[in-house]
Amino acid sequence: MGLEQIVPTLALIAVLILVLPGFIRTNIKEKLFLKNLIIWGIIVLLLVIILVLVFE
Neighbour tally for 23: CB within 10 Å: 14
| Residue type for position 9 | T
Q: What is the pTM of this model?
A: 0.54
Confidence of residue 3 (pLDDT cuts 50, 70, 90): confident
**Residue 48 near residue 13 (C-beta atoms within 8 A):** no
% the chain with pLDDT above 70: 98
Q: What is the Cα–Cα distance from 42 to 44, expressed in whole angstroms? A: 6
Per-residue pLDDT at 1: 67
